[in-house]
A and B are shown apart, each in its own frame.
Chain A
Amino acid sequence: MTQYLMSVYYVDGEETPPDDVIQEMYADVNQLNQKMMDAGAWVFGGGLHTPDTATVVRSQDGEVLTTDGPFPEAKEQIGGFWVIEADDLDAALDWASQATIACRGPVEVRPFQDEPEA
Protein backbone atom coordinates (compact mmCIF):
# COMPACT_ATOMS: atom_id res chain seq x y z
CA MET A 1 0.00 0.00 0.00
CA THR A 2 1.11 3.50 -0.76
CA GLN A 3 -0.18 6.71 0.74
CA TYR A 4 -1.21 9.52 -1.56
CA LEU A 5 -1.95 13.17 -0.90
CA MET A 6 -4.98 14.43 -2.77
CA SER A 7 -5.02 18.24 -2.72
CA VAL A 8 -8.06 20.16 -3.85
CA TYR A 9 -7.24 23.42 -5.60
CA TYR A 10 -9.30 26.51 -6.23
CA VAL A 11 -8.57 29.98 -7.53
CA ASP A 12 -8.34 32.49 -4.68
CA GLY A 13 -10.50 35.55 -5.15
CA GLU A 14 -12.93 33.84 -7.48
CA GLU A 15 -16.57 34.26 -6.59
CA THR A 16 -17.78 31.66 -4.09
CA PRO A 17 -20.65 29.50 -5.32
CA PRO A 18 -24.15 30.13 -3.93
CA ASP A 19 -25.08 28.60 -0.58
CA ASP A 20 -27.15 25.72 -1.90
CA VAL A 21 -24.24 24.61 -4.12
CA ILE A 22 -21.90 24.74 -1.11
CA GLN A 23 -24.34 22.68 0.94
CA GLU A 24 -24.55 20.11 -1.85
CA MET A 25 -20.78 19.99 -2.02
CA TYR A 26 -20.47 19.36 1.73
CA ALA A 27 -23.00 16.54 1.49
CA ASP A 28 -21.15 14.95 -1.45
CA VAL A 29 -17.80 15.22 0.33
CA ASN A 30 -19.23 13.67 3.52
CA GLN A 31 -20.62 10.81 1.51
CA LEU A 32 -17.26 10.26 -0.20
CA ASN A 33 -15.45 10.37 3.17
CA GLN A 34 -17.72 7.64 4.47
CA LYS A 35 -17.10 5.58 1.34
CA MET A 36 -13.34 5.94 1.83
CA MET A 37 -13.60 4.87 5.46
CA ASP A 38 -15.73 1.85 4.55
CA ALA A 39 -13.17 0.84 1.92
CA GLY A 40 -10.24 1.31 4.32
CA ALA A 41 -8.71 3.99 2.08
CA TRP A 42 -9.21 6.92 4.45
CA VAL A 43 -6.21 8.16 6.46
CA PHE A 44 -7.07 11.81 7.00
CA GLY A 45 -8.79 14.68 5.29
CA GLY A 46 -10.45 18.03 5.72
CA GLY A 47 -11.26 21.46 4.35
CA LEU A 48 -9.14 24.51 5.16
CA HIS A 49 -10.01 28.09 5.95
CA THR A 50 -9.19 30.63 3.24
CA PRO A 51 -5.49 31.51 2.59
CA ASP A 52 -5.84 34.91 4.31
CA THR A 53 -5.97 32.99 7.60
CA ALA A 54 -2.52 31.49 6.95
CA THR A 55 0.72 32.27 8.79
CA VAL A 56 4.20 31.40 7.55
CA VAL A 57 7.05 30.58 9.92
CA ARG A 58 10.61 30.22 8.60
CA SER A 59 14.09 29.99 9.98
CA GLN A 60 16.54 32.54 8.63
CA ASP A 61 20.10 33.18 9.87
CA GLY A 62 19.40 31.36 13.11
CA GLU A 63 16.28 33.37 13.73
CA VAL A 64 12.69 32.26 13.37
CA LEU A 65 10.51 34.71 11.47
CA THR A 66 6.75 34.74 11.54
CA THR A 67 4.84 36.48 8.75
CA ASP A 68 1.23 36.90 7.77
CA GLY A 69 -0.24 35.32 4.67
CA PRO A 70 -0.01 32.15 2.60
CA PHE A 71 3.39 30.97 1.33
CA PRO A 72 2.64 30.38 -2.37
CA GLU A 73 2.18 33.59 -4.30
CA ALA A 74 0.10 31.84 -6.95
CA LYS A 75 -3.62 32.46 -7.38
CA GLU A 76 -4.22 28.73 -7.09
CA GLN A 77 -4.47 27.70 -3.46
CA ILE A 78 -5.21 24.51 -1.59
CA GLY A 79 -8.73 24.45 -0.25
CA GLY A 80 -8.54 21.07 1.42
CA PHE A 81 -6.94 17.67 1.14
CA TRP A 82 -7.11 13.97 1.79
CA VAL A 83 -4.45 11.46 2.68
CA ILE A 84 -5.50 8.08 1.37
CA GLU A 85 -4.06 4.63 1.18
CA ALA A 86 -4.27 2.75 -2.12
CA ASP A 87 -2.74 -0.28 -3.84
CA ASP A 88 -1.43 1.71 -6.80
CA LEU A 89 -1.91 4.91 -8.78
CA ASP A 90 -4.90 3.58 -10.67
CA ALA A 91 -6.74 3.00 -7.40
CA ALA A 92 -5.70 6.47 -6.16
CA LEU A 93 -6.84 8.10 -9.42
CA ASP A 94 -10.18 6.38 -9.02
CA TRP A 95 -10.64 8.08 -5.61
CA ALA A 96 -9.41 11.36 -7.11
CA SER A 97 -12.02 11.13 -9.87
CA GLN A 98 -14.74 10.86 -7.22
CA ALA A 99 -13.09 13.62 -5.19
CA THR A 100 -12.98 16.15 -8.04
CA ILE A 101 -16.67 15.58 -8.73
CA ALA A 102 -17.57 15.95 -5.02
CA CYS A 103 -15.43 19.08 -4.50
CA ARG A 104 -16.10 20.76 -7.86
CA GLY A 105 -12.40 21.54 -8.22
CA PRO A 106 -9.21 20.05 -9.66
CA VAL A 107 -7.48 17.45 -7.49
CA GLU A 108 -3.72 16.90 -7.50
CA VAL A 109 -2.49 13.41 -6.58
CA ARG A 110 1.01 12.92 -5.14
CA PRO A 111 2.55 9.84 -3.59
CA PHE A 112 4.20 9.99 -0.16
CA GLN A 113 7.88 9.09 -0.03
CA ASP A 114 7.87 6.45 2.65
CA GLU A 115 5.80 3.35 2.60
CA PRO A 116 3.62 3.16 5.69
CA GLU A 117 4.41 0.50 8.27
CA ALA A 118 2.89 -2.81 7.30
Chain B
Amino acid sequence: MADDREIAEIFKRESGRAVATLVRRFGDIDVAEEAVQEAFVEAVRRWPRDGMPPSPAGWIITTAKNRAIDRLRRESTRDDRHKEAVRLAEHDEPEEVEIVEDDQLRLIFTCCHPALAVNAQVALTLRLIAGLQTEEIARAFLVSETTMAQRLVRAKKKIKANKIPYRIPGDAELPNRLKPVLAVLYLVYNEGHVATSGEELMRRDVATEAIRLARLLADLMPDEPEVIGLLALMLLTESRRRARTGSHGELITLPDQDRDLWDRALIEEGHELVRACLRRNHPGPYQIQAAIAAVHTDAATAAETDWLQIIVLYDQLLVFTPSPVVAMNRAIALAEAGDVSTALDDLDDLGLAGYHLFHATRGTFLERIGRRSEAAAEYARARALTSNAAERRHLEEKARMVASE
Protein backbone atom coordinates (compact mmCIF):
# COMPACT_ATOMS: atom_id res chain seq x y z
CA MET B 1 0.00 0.00 0.00
CA ALA B 2 1.20 3.48 -0.80
CA ASP B 3 1.42 5.86 2.11
CA ASP B 4 1.78 9.64 2.04
CA ARG B 5 5.53 9.53 2.55
CA GLU B 6 6.03 7.22 -0.38
CA ILE B 7 3.91 9.49 -2.56
CA ALA B 8 5.91 12.50 -1.37
CA GLU B 9 9.07 10.67 -2.43
CA ILE B 10 7.60 9.96 -5.85
CA PHE B 11 6.56 13.60 -6.11
CA LYS B 12 10.13 14.69 -5.44
CA ARG B 13 11.52 12.25 -7.97
CA GLU B 14 8.94 12.55 -10.73
CA SER B 15 7.24 15.93 -10.62
CA GLY B 16 10.04 17.68 -12.52
CA ARG B 17 9.79 15.20 -15.36
CA ALA B 18 6.00 15.37 -15.39
CA VAL B 19 5.99 19.19 -15.48
CA ALA B 20 8.55 19.21 -18.31
CA THR B 21 6.50 16.72 -20.33
CA LEU B 22 3.35 18.77 -19.91
CA VAL B 23 5.10 22.02 -20.75
CA ARG B 24 6.09 20.45 -24.06
CA ARG B 25 2.52 19.30 -24.68
CA PHE B 26 0.72 22.47 -23.69
CA GLY B 27 3.38 25.17 -24.00
CA ASP B 28 2.39 26.75 -20.70
CA ILE B 29 4.20 26.41 -17.38
CA ASP B 30 1.23 27.35 -15.18
CA VAL B 31 -1.07 24.86 -16.87
CA ALA B 32 1.59 22.15 -16.51
CA GLU B 33 2.38 22.87 -12.86
CA GLU B 34 -1.22 23.04 -11.78
CA ALA B 35 -2.15 19.85 -13.60
CA VAL B 36 0.76 17.93 -12.05
CA GLN B 37 -0.18 19.21 -8.57
CA GLU B 38 -3.76 18.07 -9.14
CA ALA B 39 -2.57 14.66 -10.31
CA PHE B 40 -0.61 14.20 -7.08
CA VAL B 41 -3.59 15.29 -5.00
CA GLU B 42 -5.54 12.62 -6.84
CA ALA B 43 -2.75 10.09 -6.16
CA VAL B 44 -2.85 10.84 -2.42
CA ARG B 45 -6.58 10.15 -2.51
CA ARG B 46 -6.51 7.00 -4.62
CA TRP B 47 -3.25 5.10 -4.24
CA PRO B 48 -3.63 4.25 -0.51
CA ARG B 49 -7.06 2.79 -1.33
CA ASP B 50 -6.48 1.18 -4.77
CA GLY B 51 -2.80 0.41 -4.52
CA MET B 52 0.13 1.86 -6.45
CA PRO B 53 -0.26 1.77 -10.25
CA PRO B 54 2.34 -0.28 -12.16
CA SER B 55 4.01 2.88 -13.46
CA PRO B 56 3.44 5.72 -10.96
CA ALA B 57 5.27 8.23 -13.18
CA GLY B 58 3.18 7.28 -16.22
CA TRP B 59 -0.01 7.45 -14.15
CA ILE B 60 0.88 10.94 -12.90
CA ILE B 61 1.64 12.22 -16.37
CA THR B 62 -1.48 10.72 -17.95
CA THR B 63 -3.70 12.00 -15.13
CA ALA B 64 -2.09 15.44 -15.28
CA LYS B 65 -2.51 15.56 -19.04
CA ASN B 66 -6.24 14.78 -18.71
CA ARG B 67 -6.60 17.45 -16.03
CA ALA B 68 -4.86 19.98 -18.26
CA ILE B 69 -7.17 19.13 -21.17
CA ASP B 70 -10.20 19.48 -18.88
CA ARG B 71 -9.01 22.87 -17.77
CA LEU B 72 -8.22 24.08 -21.26
CA ARG B 73 -11.59 22.81 -22.49
CA ARG B 74 -13.36 24.74 -19.71
CA GLU B 75 -11.47 27.87 -20.67
CA SER B 76 -11.68 27.38 -24.41
CA THR B 77 -15.14 28.95 -24.66
CA ARG B 78 -13.48 32.18 -23.62
CA ASP B 79 -10.22 31.81 -25.40
CA ASP B 80 -9.63 30.54 -28.88
CA ARG B 81 -5.96 29.90 -28.42
CA HIS B 82 -6.80 27.27 -25.84
CA LYS B 83 -9.28 25.71 -28.22
CA GLU B 84 -6.37 25.07 -30.50
CA ALA B 85 -4.40 23.48 -27.66
CA VAL B 86 -7.30 21.16 -26.87
CA ARG B 87 -7.62 20.18 -30.51
CA LEU B 88 -3.93 19.33 -30.64
CA ALA B 89 -4.06 17.40 -27.42
CA GLU B 90 -7.09 15.38 -28.45
CA HIS B 91 -6.24 14.38 -31.97
CA ASP B 92 -2.58 14.55 -32.67
CA GLU B 93 -1.13 12.22 -30.08
CA PRO B 94 -1.92 8.79 -28.69
CA GLU B 95 -3.47 8.51 -25.24
CA GLU B 96 -0.28 7.38 -23.50
CA VAL B 97 2.11 10.29 -23.03
CA GLU B 98 5.62 9.47 -24.04
CA ILE B 99 8.29 10.58 -21.60
CA VAL B 100 11.01 12.37 -23.50
CA GLU B 101 14.16 12.90 -21.42
CA ASP B 102 14.99 15.96 -23.51
CA ASP B 103 11.91 17.69 -22.12
CA GLN B 104 13.69 18.44 -18.86
CA LEU B 105 16.77 19.65 -20.67
CA ARG B 106 14.61 22.02 -22.73
CA LEU B 107 13.00 23.34 -19.59
CA ILE B 108 16.36 23.80 -17.81
CA PHE B 109 17.46 26.07 -20.66
CA THR B 110 14.20 28.02 -20.33
CA CYS B 111 14.64 28.39 -16.56
CA CYS B 112 18.23 29.59 -17.01
CA HIS B 113 17.55 31.89 -19.95
CA PRO B 114 19.88 34.90 -19.87
CA ALA B 115 16.87 37.25 -20.12
CA LEU B 116 15.93 36.19 -16.55
CA ALA B 117 17.65 37.53 -13.44
CA VAL B 118 19.96 35.06 -11.72
CA ASN B 119 17.80 34.77 -8.60
CA ALA B 120 14.81 34.04 -10.83
CA GLN B 121 16.81 31.41 -12.74
CA VAL B 122 17.70 29.72 -9.45
CA ALA B 123 14.13 29.83 -8.13
CA LEU B 124 12.63 28.50 -11.37
CA THR B 125 15.16 25.68 -11.64
CA LEU B 126 14.53 24.52 -8.08
CA ARG B 127 10.79 24.78 -8.53
CA LEU B 128 10.28 23.35 -12.03
CA ILE B 129 13.21 20.98 -12.45
CA ALA B 130 13.91 19.88 -8.88
CA GLY B 131 10.23 19.96 -7.87
CA LEU B 132 10.81 21.86 -4.60
CA GLN B 133 7.88 23.68 -3.04
CA THR B 134 7.97 27.48 -3.06
CA GLU B 135 8.13 27.46 0.74
CA GLU B 136 11.20 25.17 0.71
CA ILE B 137 13.04 27.40 -1.76
CA ALA B 138 12.16 30.47 0.30
CA ARG B 139 13.55 28.86 3.45
CA ALA B 140 16.77 27.83 1.75
CA PHE B 141 17.38 31.36 0.49
CA LEU B 142 16.10 33.11 3.61
CA VAL B 143 13.37 35.14 1.98
CA SER B 144 9.70 35.09 2.86
CA GLU B 145 7.43 32.69 1.06
CA THR B 146 5.53 35.67 -0.37
CA THR B 147 8.70 37.17 -1.81
CA MET B 148 9.69 33.86 -3.38
CA ALA B 149 6.18 33.31 -4.76
CA GLN B 150 6.23 36.79 -6.32
CA ARG B 151 9.65 36.14 -7.81
CA LEU B 152 8.36 32.95 -9.43
CA VAL B 153 5.17 34.57 -10.72
CA ARG B 154 7.15 37.43 -12.22
CA ALA B 155 9.64 35.09 -13.90
CA LYS B 156 6.87 32.90 -15.35
CA LYS B 157 5.09 35.99 -16.62
CA LYS B 158 8.25 37.14 -18.33
CA ILE B 159 8.68 33.74 -19.99
CA LYS B 160 5.11 33.79 -21.24
CA ALA B 161 4.92 37.43 -22.36
CA ASN B 162 8.26 37.25 -24.15
CA LYS B 163 7.75 33.76 -25.56
CA ILE B 164 11.01 32.53 -24.15
CA PRO B 165 11.26 29.25 -26.06
CA TYR B 166 11.46 25.70 -24.68
CA ARG B 167 14.38 24.64 -26.75
CA ILE B 168 17.81 23.11 -26.49
CA PRO B 169 20.09 25.75 -28.01
CA GLY B 170 21.86 24.89 -31.24
CA ASP B 171 25.58 24.12 -31.32
CA ALA B 172 26.54 27.73 -32.08
CA GLU B 173 24.71 29.17 -29.06
CA LEU B 174 25.27 26.24 -26.72
CA PRO B 175 28.54 27.32 -25.05
CA ASN B 176 27.03 30.68 -24.07
CA ARG B 177 23.69 29.24 -23.03
CA LEU B 178 25.23 26.44 -21.02
CA LYS B 179 27.16 28.93 -18.86
CA PRO B 180 24.17 30.24 -16.88
CA VAL B 181 22.83 26.68 -16.48
CA LEU B 182 26.07 25.52 -14.90
CA ALA B 183 26.33 28.72 -12.85
CA VAL B 184 22.82 28.18 -11.46
CA LEU B 185 23.51 24.59 -10.45
CA TYR B 186 26.81 25.57 -8.85
CA LEU B 187 25.17 28.47 -7.04
CA VAL B 188 22.46 26.15 -5.72
CA TYR B 189 25.10 23.68 -4.59
CA ASN B 190 27.15 26.35 -2.85
CA GLU B 191 24.11 27.73 -1.10
CA GLY B 192 23.68 24.25 0.34
CA HIS B 193 27.37 23.71 1.00
CA VAL B 194 28.81 26.99 2.20
CA ALA B 195 25.70 27.90 4.11
CA THR B 196 25.83 31.66 4.25
CA SER B 197 22.82 31.31 6.49
CA GLY B 198 19.56 29.40 6.76
CA GLU B 199 18.47 26.15 8.34
CA GLU B 200 21.09 23.41 8.33
CA LEU B 201 18.80 20.58 7.26
CA MET B 202 17.20 22.54 4.44
CA ARG B 203 20.59 23.53 3.12
CA ARG B 204 21.78 19.94 3.02
CA ASP B 205 18.69 19.07 0.99
CA VAL B 206 19.49 21.87 -1.42
CA ALA B 207 23.07 20.59 -1.90
CA THR B 208 21.74 17.08 -2.53
CA GLU B 209 19.26 18.50 -5.01
CA ALA B 210 22.02 20.38 -6.87
CA ILE B 211 24.00 17.15 -7.22
CA ARG B 212 20.93 15.32 -8.48
CA LEU B 213 20.40 18.05 -11.09
CA ALA B 214 24.06 17.93 -12.13
CA ARG B 215 23.75 14.15 -12.54
CA LEU B 216 20.63 14.66 -14.63
CA LEU B 217 22.41 17.23 -16.80
CA ALA B 218 25.42 14.91 -17.17
CA ASP B 219 23.08 12.10 -18.27
CA LEU B 220 21.40 14.40 -20.78
CA MET B 221 24.60 15.99 -22.11
CA PRO B 222 27.31 13.36 -21.71
CA ASP B 223 29.48 14.99 -24.37
CA GLU B 224 29.84 18.34 -22.60
CA PRO B 225 33.08 18.20 -20.59
CA GLU B 226 32.18 21.19 -18.44
CA VAL B 227 28.97 19.47 -17.32
CA ILE B 228 31.02 16.45 -16.25
CA GLY B 229 33.53 18.82 -14.63
CA LEU B 230 30.81 20.51 -12.61
CA LEU B 231 29.44 17.17 -11.40
CA ALA B 232 32.96 16.03 -10.42
CA LEU B 233 33.57 19.31 -8.57
CA MET B 234 30.33 18.92 -6.60
CA LEU B 235 31.02 15.28 -5.73
CA LEU B 236 34.56 16.01 -4.54
CA THR B 237 33.40 18.97 -2.47
CA GLU B 238 30.54 16.93 -1.08
CA SER B 239 32.92 14.09 -0.16
CA ARG B 240 34.42 16.33 2.56
CA ARG B 241 31.12 17.45 4.06
CA ARG B 242 31.23 15.30 7.19
CA ALA B 243 34.78 16.43 7.96
CA ARG B 244 33.99 20.08 7.45
CA THR B 245 32.21 20.77 10.73
CA GLY B 246 33.04 19.60 14.25
CA SER B 247 30.68 18.20 16.87
CA HIS B 248 29.58 21.71 17.91
CA GLY B 249 29.04 22.90 14.37
CA GLU B 250 32.42 24.66 14.28
CA LEU B 251 34.18 25.00 10.95
CA ILE B 252 37.16 22.73 10.27
CA THR B 253 39.35 23.87 7.40
CA LEU B 254 41.01 21.50 4.96
CA PRO B 255 44.40 21.01 6.67
CA ASP B 256 42.79 20.11 10.00
CA GLN B 257 40.09 17.79 8.66
CA ASP B 258 39.94 14.15 9.71
CA ARG B 259 40.43 12.55 6.30
CA ASP B 260 38.94 9.27 7.51
CA LEU B 261 35.60 11.08 7.49
CA TRP B 262 35.85 11.80 3.77
CA ASP B 263 33.43 9.81 1.64
CA ARG B 264 35.62 7.42 -0.38
CA ALA B 265 32.85 6.42 -2.80
CA LEU B 266 32.21 10.05 -3.81
CA ILE B 267 35.95 10.66 -4.13
CA GLU B 268 36.40 7.66 -6.39
CA GLU B 269 33.49 8.68 -8.58
CA GLY B 270 34.81 12.25 -8.74
CA HIS B 271 38.32 11.12 -9.62
CA GLU B 272 37.00 8.88 -12.38
CA LEU B 273 35.10 11.85 -13.88
CA VAL B 274 38.17 14.08 -13.66
CA ARG B 275 40.24 11.43 -15.44
CA ALA B 276 37.58 11.20 -18.16
CA CYS B 277 37.79 15.00 -18.61
CA LEU B 278 41.59 14.90 -18.82
CA ARG B 279 41.38 12.22 -21.51
CA ARG B 280 39.05 14.41 -23.51
CA ASN B 281 41.39 17.40 -23.15
CA HIS B 282 38.89 20.25 -23.59
CA PRO B 283 39.62 22.05 -20.33
CA GLY B 284 37.27 24.60 -18.80
CA PRO B 285 36.88 26.31 -15.44
CA TYR B 286 34.71 23.64 -13.78
CA GLN B 287 36.98 20.82 -14.92
CA ILE B 288 40.04 22.63 -13.59
CA GLN B 289 38.38 23.31 -10.24
CA ALA B 290 37.43 19.64 -10.09
CA ALA B 291 41.04 18.71 -10.85
CA ILE B 292 42.19 20.93 -7.96
CA ALA B 293 39.70 19.22 -5.66
CA ALA B 294 40.99 15.87 -6.96
CA VAL B 295 44.58 16.75 -6.01
CA HIS B 296 43.41 17.63 -2.49
CA THR B 297 41.42 14.45 -2.07
CA ASP B 298 44.34 12.43 -3.44
CA ALA B 299 46.56 13.32 -0.48
CA ALA B 300 46.46 10.96 2.50
CA THR B 301 47.54 13.81 4.79
CA ALA B 302 47.52 17.60 4.34
CA ALA B 303 51.35 17.57 4.33
CA GLU B 304 51.38 15.24 1.34
CA THR B 305 49.33 17.61 -0.84
CA ASP B 306 50.96 18.22 -4.23
CA TRP B 307 50.91 22.03 -4.00
CA LEU B 308 53.04 22.54 -7.09
CA GLN B 309 50.41 20.71 -9.14
CA ILE B 310 47.72 22.89 -7.57
CA ILE B 311 49.64 26.07 -8.49
CA VAL B 312 49.82 24.88 -12.12
CA LEU B 313 46.07 24.24 -12.11
CA TYR B 314 45.33 27.69 -10.64
CA ASP B 315 47.43 29.24 -13.39
CA GLN B 316 45.25 27.42 -15.94
CA LEU B 317 42.11 28.50 -14.12
CA LEU B 318 43.27 32.14 -14.15
CA VAL B 319 43.35 32.00 -17.97
CA PHE B 320 39.60 31.18 -17.97
CA THR B 321 38.59 33.11 -14.85
CA PRO B 322 40.99 35.97 -14.16
CA SER B 323 39.33 36.93 -10.89
CA PRO B 324 41.07 38.17 -7.73
CA VAL B 325 39.49 35.36 -5.69
CA VAL B 326 41.08 32.74 -7.94
CA ALA B 327 44.38 34.62 -7.68
CA MET B 328 44.00 34.57 -3.88
CA ASN B 329 43.62 30.80 -3.94
CA ARG B 330 46.76 30.57 -6.04
CA ALA B 331 48.60 32.65 -3.44
CA ILE B 332 47.39 30.26 -0.73
CA ALA B 333 48.79 27.32 -2.71
CA LEU B 334 52.07 29.19 -3.17
CA ALA B 335 52.29 29.82 0.59
CA GLU B 336 51.60 26.15 1.24
CA ALA B 337 54.36 25.26 -1.22
CA GLY B 338 56.73 27.24 1.02
CA ASP B 339 57.05 30.72 -0.48
CA VAL B 340 54.99 32.70 2.05
CA SER B 341 56.57 36.13 1.49
CA THR B 342 55.95 36.09 -2.30
CA ALA B 343 52.43 34.81 -1.57
CA LEU B 344 51.85 37.75 0.81
CA ASP B 345 53.03 40.24 -1.82
CA ASP B 346 50.78 38.62 -4.45
CA LEU B 347 47.84 38.70 -2.05
CA ASP B 348 48.30 42.40 -1.25
CA ASP B 349 48.25 43.25 -4.96
CA LEU B 350 44.74 41.86 -5.46
CA GLY B 351 42.68 44.73 -4.04
CA LEU B 352 40.51 42.41 -1.98
CA ALA B 353 40.44 44.48 1.25
CA GLY B 354 36.98 44.19 2.82
CA TYR B 355 36.47 40.56 1.73
CA HIS B 356 36.51 38.43 4.87
CA LEU B 357 38.46 35.53 3.34
CA PHE B 358 41.17 37.95 2.19
CA HIS B 359 41.70 39.10 5.78
CA ALA B 360 41.57 35.56 7.15
CA THR B 361 44.14 34.45 4.55
CA ARG B 362 46.37 37.44 5.20
CA GLY B 363 46.23 36.60 8.91
CA THR B 364 47.39 33.05 8.20
CA PHE B 365 50.32 34.25 6.08
CA LEU B 366 51.40 36.83 8.68
CA GLU B 367 51.15 34.27 11.45
CA ARG B 368 53.33 31.90 9.48
CA ILE B 369 56.15 34.46 9.09
CA GLY B 370 55.96 35.41 12.75
CA ARG B 371 54.15 38.78 12.52
CA ARG B 372 51.69 37.72 15.19
CA SER B 373 50.10 40.96 16.33
CA GLU B 374 49.35 41.93 12.72
CA ALA B 375 47.92 38.44 12.20
CA ALA B 376 45.57 38.84 15.18
CA ALA B 377 44.37 42.17 13.78
CA GLU B 378 43.60 40.54 10.40
CA TYR B 379 41.63 37.73 12.06
CA ALA B 380 39.60 40.34 13.95
CA ARG B 381 38.92 42.21 10.71
CA ALA B 382 37.81 39.00 9.00
CA ARG B 383 35.56 38.13 11.94
CA ALA B 384 33.81 41.49 11.73
CA LEU B 385 33.09 40.90 8.05
CA THR B 386 31.39 37.50 8.15
CA SER B 387 27.86 36.65 9.27
CA ASN B 388 28.34 32.87 9.40
CA ALA B 389 28.37 31.86 13.08
CA ALA B 390 30.68 28.84 12.58
CA GLU B 391 33.21 30.94 10.67
CA ARG B 392 33.10 33.68 13.31
CA ARG B 393 33.89 31.19 16.06
CA HIS B 394 36.69 29.73 13.95
CA LEU B 395 38.25 33.18 13.47
CA GLU B 396 37.89 34.10 17.15
CA GLU B 397 39.71 30.91 18.03
CA LYS B 398 42.54 31.69 15.61
CA ALA B 399 42.89 35.24 16.95
CA ARG B 400 43.02 33.90 20.51
CA MET B 401 45.64 31.28 19.62
CA VAL B 402 47.93 33.70 17.81
CA ALA B 403 47.74 36.21 20.64
CA SER B 404 48.55 33.64 23.33
CA GLU B 405 51.61 32.19 21.60
Which residues of A are at the interface with B, using a C-beta cutoff of 8 A? 2, 87-90, 92-93, 109, 111, 113
A92 CB contacts on chain B under 8 angstroms: 162
The answer to whether A111 and B115 have CB atoms under 8 Å apart is: no
Q: Within residues 98 to 115 of chain B, which ones have a CB less than 8 A from any CB in chain A?
A: 113, 115
Pick from A90, A93, A109, A111: contact of B167, CB under 8 Å: A90
> 13 A-B pairs, CB-CB below 8 angstroms?
A2-B162, A2-B163, A88-B162, A88-B164, A88-B165, A89-B113, A89-B115, A89-B163, A90-B165, A90-B167, A90-B169, A111-B162, A113-B161
Which residues of B are at the interface with A, using a C-beta cutoff of 8 A? 113, 115, 161-165, 167, 169, 173
- Interface of A, helix, strand, loop or mixed by DSSP: mixed
Q: How far is the CA of A113 from the CA of B165 in the complex (A)?
A: 17
Q: How far is the CA of A60 from the CA of B165 in the complex (A)?
A: 42
Q: How far is the CA of A113 from the CA of B173 in the complex (A)?
A: 28
Q: Measured between C-beta atoms, what is the minimum distance from A1 to chain B in Å?
A: 9
B161 CB contacts on chain A under 8 angstroms: 111, 113
Q: A2-B162, A90-B169, A111-B163 are in contact. List 19 more A-B contacts (CB 8 A).
A: A2-B163, A87-B163, A87-B165, A88-B162, A88-B163, A88-B164, A89-B113, A89-B162, A89-B164, A89-B165, A90-B164, A90-B165, A90-B167, A90-B173, A92-B162, A93-B115, A109-B162, A111-B161, A113-B161
B167 CB contacts on chain A under 8 angstroms: 88, 90
Q: Measured between C-beta atoms, what is the minimum distance from B268 to chain A in Å?
A: 40
Q: How far is the CA of A92 from the CA of B161 in the complex (A)?
A: 13
A111 CB contacts on chain B under 8 angstroms: 161-163
Q: How far is the CA of A87 from the CA of B173 in the complex (A)?
A: 17
Q: Measured between C-beta atoms, what is the minimum distance from B14 to chain A in Å?
A: 28
Q: How far is the CA of A48 from the CA of B101 in the complex (A)?
A: 49
Q: How far is the CA of A88 from the CA of B162 in the complex (A)?
A: 7
Which residue in chain A gives the minimum CB-CB distance to B81?
A115
B173 CB contacts on chain A under 8 angstroms: 90
Q: How far is the CA of A111 from the CA of B162 in the complex (A)?
A: 5
Q: How far is the CA of A87 from the CA of B163 in the complex (A)?
A: 8
A89 CB contacts on chain B under 8 angstroms: 113, 115, 162-165
B113 CB contacts on chain A under 8 angstroms: 89
Q: How far is the CA of A2 from the CA of B27 in the complex (A)?
A: 15
A87 CB contacts on chain B under 8 angstroms: 163, 165
Q: How far is the CA of A26 from the CA of B186 in the complex (A)?
A: 44
A90 CB contacts on chain B under 8 angstroms: 164-165, 167, 169, 173
Q: Measured between C-beta atoms, what is the minimum distance from A117 to chain B in Å?
A: 12
B163 CB contacts on chain A under 8 angstroms: 2, 87-89, 111
Q: How far is the CA of A90 from the CA of B165 in the complex (A)?
A: 7
A93 CB contacts on chain B under 8 angstroms: 115
Which residue in chain B gives the minimum CB-CB distance to A1?
B163
Q: Measured between C-beta atoms, what is the minimum distance from B155 to chain A in Å?
A: 13
Q: How far is the CA of A92 from the CA of B163 in the complex (A)?
A: 10
B162 CB contacts on chain A under 8 angstroms: 2, 88-89, 92, 109, 111
Q: Measured between C-beta atoms, what is the minimum distance from A95 to chain B in Å?
A: 13
B165 CB contacts on chain A under 8 angstroms: 87-90
Q: Measured between C-beta atoms, what is the minimum distance from B175 to chain A in Å?
A: 15
